[in-house]
Structure formats: C-alpha cells, structure tokens
C-alpha cells in the first residue's frame, strides 16, 4: 500500500473501529447502569412503547390492589367484631336465665344485673369500635361499600350489616332490667332476634370478605405475571452486559493503540528526505 500524507487509510480504519467499539461500549455501560436493555425510546422505540403501555396497566392494577386491600381490611375488622359479639351472646342468655329465677335474693339480682349490663356494654363497644378507615358496617347508619375488582371498573360490594346494631338496640332496651320471668321471656325473645341477626351477618360478611380475598390474590397473580413479562421485554442481562463492558474496554484500548500506530506511519516518509 502506498503511503500518503493526505489520506491515512490505516488511521481511518482504526478510527472507524474505535467509533464502533465506543458505541457498543456506551450501550453495554448503559445496560449495566440502568439495569434495562430498553431504558428509553432511543434504545428501541417500539419495544419502549409496548413497555410503557404495560407499565400503565400495572399502575391501574396497583389501584385495584389498594382498593381490594381496603375491602379485605374492612371485612376482617367486621368479622372480628361479629365473632366476639357471637361469643358473648351465650353468656347473655345464661345471665338472663339467672335473672329469671324468682328465688334469688336482691343482692344476687344486683350482682347478676351488673354483670349483665357490663356484657351488654361490651357488645355496644364491639359494634361501635368495628371501624376500618372511617367505615363501620355494623352501624345502624351504615351503607353498602363497593371496591374495585379489576381495571375495567367492575366492583365488589361489602354489604351493610346495620341489622346487627338495630337488633341490639331493641334487645338492650327491653332487657335493660330483668325483674321477673315475663321480663326474662321478653329479653330472651329479643336476644334470639339479635342472635339471628349476628349469625346472618357473620355468614354474609365472611362470604363477601372471602370473595375480596380471592380476587385480591388473583389480581396479585396477574400483577406478578405482568411484571415478569415486562422484565422479559426490557430488563438487561446484567452478567452478559458486564462481560461485554470488560471485553469492549479491551477492544477500545486496542483500537486506540492501533490508531496511534496508524498515525505514526506518515512520519516514515520523512526518512526519504534524510
């Protein structure tokens, strides 16, 4: 090959190789730094556009997850209150039966009445404290609550269990003082109505809470699968990218050295003038 002081072909080849190596090194370094094979539209416009759509879907699912979590929390709190109320109903029945006994002394009746009133107050506390995020399904003033079930706007409902509070108020009013067998009969009758209301609410609330839990689990599975799919599209193979960075750094050094050698070749021409 002839030597020229105007066109250094060797330097041009070395420079082209250096540019290519530098471009590849920038790509590999970006993958290592960001963890993404497609971090923005400059990397792959079509893939990035698809990934952005998937990310939007994931954000929508996150809203669904939050709504379902609130529903499950409300259902669980309500279920806990109903369970504790149900556990006390048997004790209330026993206490009314004891008060119906005409042979007990006035002192005994006072003791039984105090115990009965304490349990009644505890039931009232269970009802009033069954709050979750400002909502109490057991309150007489409560209404049905709906929660997102999917990204299409479908909803699931937690039904108001206001019948529990209403039945309890009726029971507490008529059974406040049990002084005779007739009082006890009225109290037991209203307690039975209250017990039925609690049992019905327990079953209904448990079924609705379970539905919310199952839907929440399903949505979580969808989110996991979607996240995995998104990762397959845009995530970088960090091990492979790191190895590429090291190899390209060596190639970069060799290209620089080759360019340096090529740039020294024209100086050989100076020997002809010595």
Q: Which tens digit of pLDDT belongs to each residue from 55-110?
A: 999 999 999 999 999 999 999 999 999 999 999 998 998 888 888 787 878 888 88
Q: Domain for residue 4, yes or no?
A: no
Do 131 and 178 belong to one domain? Answer: yes
Residue 210 lies in a domain: yes
Q: What are 122's strand-pairing partners? A: none
* Same-domain pairing of 19 and 146: no
244 and 258 co-located in one domain: yes
In a shared domain, residues 224 and 248: no
- Answer whether 57's CB lies under 8 Å from 88's CB: no
Structural domain contains residue 46: no
Domain of 171?
56-234
d(CA 79, CA 76): 5
pTM: 0.76
Same domain? 104 vs 226: yes
> Do 27 and 85 fall within a single domain?
no
Map tokens 């009965």 to a residue: 116
Kindly state whether residue 40 falls inside one of the protein's structural domains.
no
Structural Rg of the chain based on CA atoms = 39
pLDDT tens, 253-264? 877 877 777 777
Least confident of 93-102, 198-207, 231-240, 257-266: 257-266
Do 229 and 243 lie in one domain? The reply is: no
- Are residues 28 and 87 located together in one domain of the fold? no
Let me know if residue 43 belongs to a domain: no
Question: Does residue 204 sit in the same domain as residue 147?
Answer: yes
Domain count, the chain: 2
Q: How far, in Å, CA of 57 to CA of 223, rounded?
A: 9
């Amino acid at each position: 090959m002839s030597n020229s002081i105007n066109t250094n072909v060797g330097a041009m080849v070395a420079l082209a190789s250096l540019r290519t190596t530098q471009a590849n090194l920038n790509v590999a370094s970006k993958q290592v730094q960001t963890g993404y094979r497609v971090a923005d539209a400059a990397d792959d416009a079509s893939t990035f556009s698809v990934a952005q759509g998937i990310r939007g879907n994931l954000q929508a699912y996150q809203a669904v997850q939050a709504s379902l979590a609130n529903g499950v929390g409300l259902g669980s709190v309500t279920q806990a209150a109903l369970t504790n109320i149900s556990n006390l109903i048997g004790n209330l029945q026993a206490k009314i039966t004891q008060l119906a006994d005409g042979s007990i002394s006035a002192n005994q009746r006072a003791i039984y009445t105090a115990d009965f009133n304490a349990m009644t107050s505890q039931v009232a506390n269970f009802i009033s404290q069954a709050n979750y995020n400002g909502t109490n399904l057991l309150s007489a003033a409560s209404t049905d609550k709906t929660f997102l079930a999917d990204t299409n706007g479908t909803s699931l409902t937690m039904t108001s269990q206001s019948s529990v509070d209403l039945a309890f108020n009726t029971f507490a009013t008529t059974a406040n003082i049990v002084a005779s067998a007739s009082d006890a009969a009225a109290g037991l009758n209203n307690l039975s109505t209250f017990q039925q209301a609690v049992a019905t609410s327990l079953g209904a609330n448990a079924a609705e809470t379970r539905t919310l839990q199952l839907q929440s689990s399903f949505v979580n599975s969808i989110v996991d699968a979607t996240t995995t799919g998104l990762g397959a599209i845009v995530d970088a193979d960090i091990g492979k990218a790191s190895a590429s960075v090291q190899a390209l750094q060596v190639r970069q050094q060799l290209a620089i050295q080759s360019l340096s050698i090529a740039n020294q070749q024209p100086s050989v021409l100076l020997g002809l003038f010595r």
